Amino acid sequence: MTVTFSQALASSRPSLRISADAADRTAHARDWWPRAAKWTDEELDRHRPDAVVFATGEEDCIAVVAACRDTGTKLVTYGAGSGVVGAAVPDSGSVVIDMRGMSRIVAFNATDGFVTVEPGCLGGELENWLNERGFTLGHYPQSLHLASIGGLISTRSTGTFSNKYGGIEELVLALRVVGADGSVTAFRNTPRNSSGPALQQLFIGAEGTLGVITQATLRVFPRAERRIFEGYQFPSVAAGVEAVRKAYAAHLRPAVLRLYDETEAANLYRRVGRDSGPPLLIAGFEGLSGVAAAEQAAFAAIAKAEGGISLGPDIGNAWEAHRFDANWLTAGNEGPRRMADAIEIALPWSTLAEAHAAITAEVAPYCATVMSHYSHFYSTGGALYVIVLLEGADTASVLEQYRQVWDRVMRKALAFGGSLAHHHGVGRQRAPFLPQELDGGHRLLQLVKAALDPEGILNPGKLALNGAVQ
């Protein structure tokens, strides 16, 4: 007699909650991926998992993986469902493991500067807990209050203050991971090591394809004594980019640097009583009061030399007050004929400004509105967000516009020497393009997948991992 997944799991873990309820299956069929918002009933049915398991601890995860392995069932790990590229979207016939019941804060060490947490804890919940104790994670994506820690790690996320605190890959100190064979790998928390390759980095950005994260130890920081914002208007986007580049060359690291083109800047100008204005840069500085003020003064001199005119703190404070508002994405995807998305790519300094102009011109014919901003900078370049609002004659038309926009942005990112993804991950949306960026590295990724998950149980198809090594 063939044993089903549910039977296998009930035998090994009878107390574990497993649901085949239609509402639970539908709730776990998609994340915030705009393409999924336009699914027909037939398409939705193709992505409803057969069952949803609600994990409450690591032993549950081990049992679920074992039951999947024994019955040949595919497994998709689901955090809070806030991803926007379909990384958590399953297929029918698969099982979803919901991690939200694993949300405990396990350990905190103020002296050594770390917190250990389970993957289902929301980023905002962890941040509030740390703030009450005088600390911060320093990781503030727009989805902070919507995203789980496991999801942030699995998509290799970053936050608005990343210039100072780094991306999630710099905050993860240690992980516990359940592999496809049911074994648990526990990485050691040390300040640094030279003990071979940094293997835990394999799981940061892996989108659940290599293992199920059950615990993470993260770097934390004392809360800043002072936070200062200042806005600047620039004569052009290129002038703003050059000001930021020179600040980085001078070893300045403002916590926040966000450069908006005229179209997106209008949204912020309106918050301070102006209808519109030239390209806008919001700079944020934090730390000891004297250090933050000194960095602000040093940056102001560089900005002025590139034609920047100070607008004072109000426009930056207005941005901070609304920085977690993602309602535009929900509203922009309402109805059958509208779509909205934010496509983030990473580019070198030498092409940042040129890429903005070229991409805007390339996608404008397909958009009701296209606007952009830069954020998250490095000594070698930065991230460009292309925000698109689309309107079509019908659903089929707007979906074709959406496909055209994504195709063009991805191709331009590669043509300008950049990365297809800065921090939203790959998911289903970017998977067709990923081998072009990774080149021979994608074969290496396939070999890793084949070694760690030879039966292809974990989140199949993501990261363009579709089976045989090529």
Q: How many other CB atoms are found less than 10 A from the CB of residue 365? A: 11
Distance between CA 63 and CA 59 in Å, rounded?
Answer: 6
Is 212 marked within a binding site?
A: yes
Check: CB of residue 430 under 8 Å from CB of residue 410: yes
Residue 413: burial class (beta carbons within 10 Å; 0-12, 13-18, 19+): buried
Residue 23: burial class (beta carbons within 10 Å; 0-12, 13-18, 19+): exposed
Please tell me which residue in 140, 248, 269, 385 is annotated as part of the active site: 385
413 half-sphere exposure, CB direction, 13 A CA radius: 25
The question of whether 248 is a catalytic residue gets the answer no
Is 312 marked within a binding site?
A: no
Check: CB of residue 237 under 8 Å from CB of residue 353: yes
Is 56 marked within a binding site?
A: no
Alpha helices in 155-214 (DSSP H): 162-165, 168-171
Check: CB of residue 222 under 8 Å from CB of residue 288: no
The distance of Cα 305 from the centroid of its chain, to the nearest Å, equals 34
Instruction: Please list, in sequence order, all residues whose beta carbon lies within 8 angstroms of the beta carbon of residue 465, skipping any fewer than 6 positions away.
Output: 209, 445, 446, 449, 456
Is 210 marked within a binding site?
A: yes
Check: CB of residue 175 under 8 Å from CB of residue 187: yes
Check: CB of residue 398 under 8 Å from CB of residue 392: yes
Is 209 marked within a binding site?
A: yes
Closest CA to 393 of 361, 366, 363: 366
Check: CB of residue 61 under 8 Å from CB of residue 178: yes
Q: Known catalytic residues?
A: 385
Binding site as annotated, residues for FAD:
207-213
Which residue ranges make up the annotated binding site? 207-213
